[in-house]
Structure 1
Amino acid sequence: MTTSSLILFNKPYGVQSQFRDDSGNPHTTLAPYFDDKTLRIAGRLDATSEGLLILTSDGRINKAITQPPRAATFDSSSKQGKTYLVQVEGVPTEGQLTALADGVMLKDGKTLPAIVQLVAVADLPVKLWPRNPPIRERKNVPTSWLMLTIYEGKNRQVRRMTAHVGLPCLRLIRWSVAGFELGSLGVGEFVRVHLNEERRQQLGLKA
């Protein structure tokens, strides 16, 4: 029986989703956190985004998580979604939430239908940690939190989606990927998960 595993990592703000940096970029890389040279990233996060990053040495797992669905056969019930906790500037209207859920037209095409919910801070699935540096705050301008699940991976997609409907993104935390959740992992912490046969089948992996 094949044994597969992956790593769930709570990526801190300012850390790049790569192990080497030859460009002189001031952002930190993953190198201080992992010494396993066989690990590959299954779905990158921007340096300015936080939360769940999945790493694996198994190319089949990587492909199962990162390969986006075809729009022509899209079915959210059978695809590997990614859920983000998104702090936005302003209070969303029903129209803005509907637009995000239906899909918005970006420069590289219309986004697939998404699941979006306005959430109170107390109802977020994770206890928020302080961000360094803190988000920018404007007096007399409220902020809100959304839970947004998408089924594709356009570049900086969530930020562009919320900006498109007039809700600038202030903070972005990835909560789950393909059914794997951040859980109670602290910032910079990780855990290795061994996949049983049921989980392998959910990812579409054969024995």
Structure 2
Amino acid sequence: MHRYFIINKPFDMVSQFVSSHDVRLLGELPFEFPEGTHAIGRLDNHSEGLLILTTNKKVTRLLFQGKMPHERTYLVKVKGEMSEATLQRLKEGVPICVGEGEEYITTPCRVEIVERPDGLFDHPRELPFKVPHTWLLITLTEGKFHQVRKMVGAVSHRCQRLIRVSIENLLLGDLQPGEVRELPEEEFFHLLKITDYSD
């Protein structure tokens, strides 16, 4: 029987159990994952938040390669105060680099300016609050390499924090950095809005 987990991936940890580099790995979390567990929809080492782990190899295909796109929402802190005009550019789509000399126009998405959430865990490299900044909530249905960071960079704002807070109805919630929660299979797929997951 397959098993399904969500974690709040901490800053400065890669989404892997094995690496040839000297980096913090998922195996350092205080949890005994079963053999064959792997990450779905990875986050880079500087990104934080919701990460799916499972022993089911079909989840990547069901979630990211199916006909129906699945929404992913990120809480993003950028340097500087973002204007409404710039916000609109992000919503409509901006050009980002996706390869050597290859430009891609991002699909229209939902973006809104929000307040820093109460109780948000601190970040070891976060600049002081008095430095001008903007918190954004960005919801995408695509996931190019480093897409969110490239999007805000394309409108002249540097990404300071990137936290994935949901994938469809699967929420990070109050899970603290490094915490793990196991979900029953039926609930896991229901929250991800995947209806046909049988073998």
Q: Is the 8 A contact 1:80 1:179 kept in 2?
A: no
Structure 1: state its 5+ residue gaps.
Answer: 70-77
TM-superposed CA distance for 1:194, in Å, is 1.1
Structure 2 residue ranges without an equivalent (≥5): 99-103
Determine the C-alpha separation between the residues in 2 that align with 1:63 and 1:168. 32
What is the CA-CA distance between 1:167 and the residue it aligns to? 1.4
RMSD, aligned α-carbons: 2.3
Establish whether residue 61 from structure 1 lines up as the match of residue 59 from structure 2. yes
Q: So what's the TM-score if we normalise by structure 2? A: 0.86
1:32-111 residue pairs with structure 2 within 5 A?
A: 32-33=28-29, 34-67=32-65, 79-108=69-98, 109-111=104-106
* Aligned residue among 180, 199, 206 for 2:190: 199
Task: Tell me, yes or no, if the aligned pair for 1:56 and 1:62 is still in contact at 8 Å.
Answer: no
Corresponding position: 1:163 with 2:148: no
Aligned length: 190
Q: Shift of residue 186 of structure 1?
A: 1.1
Question: 1:6 maps to which residue?
Answer: 4
Is 1:115 the equivalent of 2:115? no
* Correspondence for 2:17: 19
* Deviation for aligned residue 1:45: 0.3
3-state DSSP class of the match of 2:28?
coil
**Equivalent AA in structure 1 for residue 194 of structure 2:** L
Identity between Structure 1 and Structure 2 (%): 33
TM-score (norm 1): 0.83
3-state DSSP class of the match of 1:59? coil
CA contact (8 A) 2:169 2:192 kept: no
Q: Match of 1:144, as an amino acid? A: T
Contact conserved, 1:42 with 1:63, CA < 8 A, in 2? no
Shift of 1:13: 0.4
